[in-house]
Amino acid sequence: MNAQTERAERAGQPLLEVEGLRQHFRMSRHYTVKAVDDVSFTIHRGEIFGLVGESGSGKSTTGRSIIRLYTPTAGRIRFCGQDVSGRLTAQQTLLLRTRMQMIFQDPIASLNPREKVIDIIAEGIDIHHMYESRAQRRDMVLAMLRKVGLAPEHADRYPHQLSGGQRQRVGIARALIMKPDLIIADEAISALDVSIQAQVVNLLKQIQQETGCAILFIAHDLSMVRYISDTIGVLHLGHLVELGTTQDVFEHAVHPYTRALLSAIPRPNPLLERDRPIESYDCRAAGVDYTKGTLHHLSDTHLLLATDEERDRWTRGA
Amino acid sequence: MTTQERETILRISDLSISFNTFAGRVNAIRGVDLTLHRGETLAIVGESGSGKSVTVKSILGIRSSNERVDHGSIEFSYRDESGQPVTRDLLKMSDKQLQRQIRGKHIALVFQDPMTSLNPTMTIGAQIMEGVRRKKGVSRQAARARSLELLELVGIPDAAARYGHYPHQLSGGMRQRVVIAIALACDPDLLICDEPTTALDVTVQAKILDLIKDIQRKTGLTVIYITHDLGVVARVADTVAVMYAGKLVERGTVQDIFYRPAHPYTWGLLLSVPDMDDPQAKLYTIPGSPPNLLKPVTGDAFAPRNEYALAIDSQREPPMFQITPEHAAATWLLCPGAPDVPMPAALQRRIEHMLKEVQA
Amino acid sequence: MDKQELRLTPEEARLTGLSREEYTDSNFAGHSYLHEILITLFSNRATAISLACIAVIVLMAIFAPILSPYSYREVHSEATNLPMRIPGLEKLGIFDGTRAGVDQYERHGVPDEYHYFGTDNLGRDIWTRVWTGTRISLLIALLAVALDVLIGVTYGMIAGFFGGRADLIMQRVIEVLTGIPNLIIMMLLLLVMEPGIPTICLALAITGWVNMSRIVRAQVLRIKGSEYVLASRTLGSPAMRIILRKILPNTMGQIIITFMFSVPNAIFFEAFLAFIGLGVPIPMASLGTLINDGYKSAMLYPYQVLLPAAVLSVLMLSFNLLGDGLRDAIDPQMRSM
Q: Give the DSSP letter string of B135-184.
A: STT--HHHHHHHHHHHHHHTT-SSHHHHTT--GGGS-HHHHHHHHHHHHH
> Which site among C227, C233, C250 would you substitute to test the A interface, given the most A Cβ atoms closer than 10 Å to its Cβ?
C227
> Closest chain B residue to C26 measured between Cα atoms?
B292
**Which residues does chain C have within 8 Å of residue A124's beta carbon, measured at their own beta carbons?**
235-236
Name the more confident of A7 and B81: B81
> Closest chain A residue to B360 measured between Cα atoms?
A272
User: How far is C223 from chain B, CA to nearest CA, in Å?
Assistant: 23
Asked if residue C269 is part of any domain, the answer here is yes
C228–A111 CB contact, under 8 Å? yes
C207-243: string of b/e by CB count within 10 Å (b at 16+)? bbbbbbbbbbbebbeebbebbbbbbbbbbbbeeeebb
Cα B107 to Cα B102: distance, rounded to the nearest angstrom: 6
**Which residues does chain B have within 8 Å of residue A198's beta carbon, measured at their own beta carbons?**
272-274, 283-286
Cα B125 to Cα B150: distance, rounded to the nearest angstrom: 10
Asked if residue C172 is part of any domain, the answer here is yes
One domain, residues C114 and C141:
no
Chains in contact with C via at least 3 Cβ–Cβ pairs below 8 Å: A, B
A246–B237 CB contact, under 8 Å? no
pLDDT tens for each residue of C167-179? 999 999 999 888 8
Cα A27 to Cα B155: distance, rounded to the nearest angstrom: 32
Which member of A67, A153, A163 has the closest CB to residue C234?
A: A67
Residue B1, pLDDT > 50, answer: no
> Closest chain B residue to A54 measured between Cα atoms?
B201
Q: Which residues of chain A have a Cβ shorter than 8 Å from any chain C Cβ?
A: 64, 67, 69, 93-94, 96-98, 100-102, 104-106, 109-115, 123-124, 127-128, 151, 153, 157-158, 160-163, 166, 171, 174, 178
Structural domain total, chain A: 1
**What is residue C23's predicted lDDT score, i.e. its pLDDT?**
45
Q: How far is CA B244 from CA A67, A192, A233, B263, in A?
A: 40, 16, 37, 11
A267–B234 CB contact, under 8 Å? yes
Asked if residue B329 is part of any domain, the answer here is yes
**What is residue A232's predicted lDDT score, i.e. its pLDDT?**
95
Name the more confident of C298 and B261: B261
In this prediction, residues A205-228 reach a mean pLDDT of: 91
**Which residues does chain B have within 8 Å of residue A195's beta carbon, measured at their own beta carbons?**
47, 268-269, 272, 285-286
Q: Could you tell me what percent of chain C has a pLDDT over 90? A: 31
**What is residue C31's predicted lDDT score, i.e. its pLDDT?**
58
User: How far is A159 from chain C, CA to nearest CA, in Å?
Assistant: 10
A278–B48 CB contact, under 8 Å? no
Asked if residue B328 is part of any domain, the answer here is yes
User: How far is A101 from chain C, CA to nearest CA, in Å?
Assistant: 7
Long-range contacts, stretch A309-317, CB < 8 angstroms, 24+ apart = A311/A254, A314/A254, A314/A255, A314/A256, A315/A254
Residue B163, pLDDT > 50, answer: yes
C23–B305 CB contact, under 8 Å? yes
**B202 and chain A in contact, CB less than 8 A:** yes
> Closest chain C residue to A111 measured between Cα atoms?
C228
Which member of B229, B289, B358 has the closest CB to residue A165?
A: B289
Which member of B203, B231, B290 has the closest CB to residue A261?
A: B203
pLDDT tens for each residue of C178-191? 888 878 888 888 78
H-type helices in chain C, by residue range?
20-23, 33-43, 45-67, 104-107, 126-162, 164-179, 182-192, 197-224, 227-234, 239-241, 248-275, 287-296, 303-330
**C31 and chain B in contact, CB less than 8 A:** yes
B2 burial (CB, 10 Å; 0-12 / 13-18 / 19+) is exposed
**B47 and chain A in contact, CB less than 8 A:** yes
> Which site among B21, B310, B322, B332 would you substitute to test the C interface, given the most C Cβ atoms closer than 10 Å to its Cβ?
B310
Residue C19, pLDDT > 80, answer: no
- Domain range for A68 is 3-317
A267–B231 CB contact, under 8 Å? yes
What is the average pLDDT score of chain C?
A: 83
Q: Could you tell me what percent of chain A has a pLDDT over 70? A: 96
**What is residue A1's predicted lDDT score, i.e. its pLDDT?**
42
> Which site among A263, A271, A283 would you substitute to test the B interface, given the most B Cβ atoms closer than 10 Å to its Cβ?
A271
Position C334 confidence tier, pLDDT thresholds 50, 70, 90: very low
pLDDT tens for each residue of A107-125? 888 999 889 999 999 999 9
Q: How open is the CA angle A255-A226-A242, to the nearest 5 degrees?
A: 20
Q: How open is the CA angle A165-A168-A169, to the nearest 5 degrees?
A: 90
Residue B347, pLDDT > 60, answer: yes
Position A174 confidence tier, pLDDT thresholds 50, 70, 90: very high
**Which residues does chain A have within 8 Å of residue C31's beta carbon, measured at their own beta carbons?**
158, 160-161
One domain, residues C238 and C270:
yes
Asked if residue B304 is part of any domain, the answer here is yes
User: How far is B32 from chain A, CA to nearest CA, in Å?
Assistant: 22
Residues in chain C: 337
Position B260 confidence tier, pLDDT thresholds 50, 70, 90: very high
Q: Could you tell me what percent of chain B has a pLDDT over 90? A: 31
C231–A67 CB contact, under 8 Å? no
**Which residues does chain C have within 8 Å of residue A115's beta carbon, measured at their own beta carbons?**
245, 249
Which member of A193, A265, A280 has the closest CB to residue B231?
A: A265
Position A10 confidence tier, pLDDT thresholds 50, 70, 90: low
**What is residue B176's predicted lDDT score, i.e. its pLDDT?**
87
C227–A158 CB contact, under 8 Å? no
pLDDT tens for each residue of A259-293? 998 888 888 889 988 888 888 888 777 888 888 88
**What is residue A230's predicted lDDT score, i.e. its pLDDT?**
93
**Which residues does chain B have within 8 Å of residue C19's beta carbon, measured at their own beta carbons?**
304, 309
B310–C15 CB contact, under 8 Å? yes
Residue B175, pLDDT > 80, answer: yes
pLDDT tens for each residue of C20-71? 544 445 555 555 677 777 877 788 888 899 999 999 999 999 998 888 888 8
Q: How many angstroms separate the first and last alpha carbons of chain B?
A: 31
A272–B284 CB contact, under 8 Å? no
**C25 and chain B in contact, CB less than 8 A:** yes
> Closest chain B residue to C23 measured between Cα atoms?
B288
A270–B284 CB contact, under 8 Å? no
Smallest Cα–Cα separation from B234: which of A279, A194, A198, A271?
A271
In this prediction, residues A8-31 reach a mean pLDDT of: 82
**What is residue C331's predicted lDDT score, i.e. its pLDDT?**
66
C15–B23 CB contact, under 8 Å? no
Asked if residue C10 is part of any domain, the answer here is no
In this prediction, residues B259-275 reach a mean pLDDT of: 90
- Domain range for B286 is 266-359
pLDDT tens for each residue of B67-122? 889 999 999 998 887 888 889 999 998 888 888 888 888 999 888 788 888 888 99
- Domain range for C89 is 82-118
**What is residue C282's predicted lDDT score, i.e. its pLDDT?**
76
Distance of CA B330 to the CA centre of its chain: 19
pLDDT tens for each residue of B193-238? 988 877 777 778 888 888 889 889 888 899 999 988 888 899 999 9
Residue C108, pLDDT > 50, answer: yes
Structural domain total, chain C: 2
pLDDT tens for each residue of C212-248? 999 999 999 999 989 999 999 999 999 999 999 999 9
**What is residue A9's predicted lDDT score, i.e. its pLDDT?**
52
Which member of B206, B287, B289 has the closest CB to residue A278?
A: B206
Q: Which residues of chain C have a Cβ shorter than 8 Å from any chain A Cβ?
A: 24-25, 27-31, 33, 226-228, 230-238, 241, 245-246, 249-250
Smallest Cα–Cα separation from A185: which of A97, A247, A73, A100?
A100
**Which residues does chain C have within 8 Å of residue B245's beta carbon, measured at their own beta carbons?**
none
C16–B311 CB contact, under 8 Å? yes
C14–B310 CB contact, under 8 Å? yes
> Closest chain B residue to C7 measured between Cα atoms?
B336
What is the average pLDDT score of chain A?
A: 88
User: How far is B250 from chain A, CA to nearest CA, in Å?
Assistant: 17
Cα A133 to Cα A131: distance, rounded to the nearest angstrom: 6
User: How far is A60 from chain C, CA to nearest CA, in Å?
Assistant: 13
Work out whether the CA dihedral B279, A217, A56, A294 comes out positive or negative.
positive
Residue A35, pLDDT > 60, answer: yes
Q: What is the pTM of this model?
A: 0.83
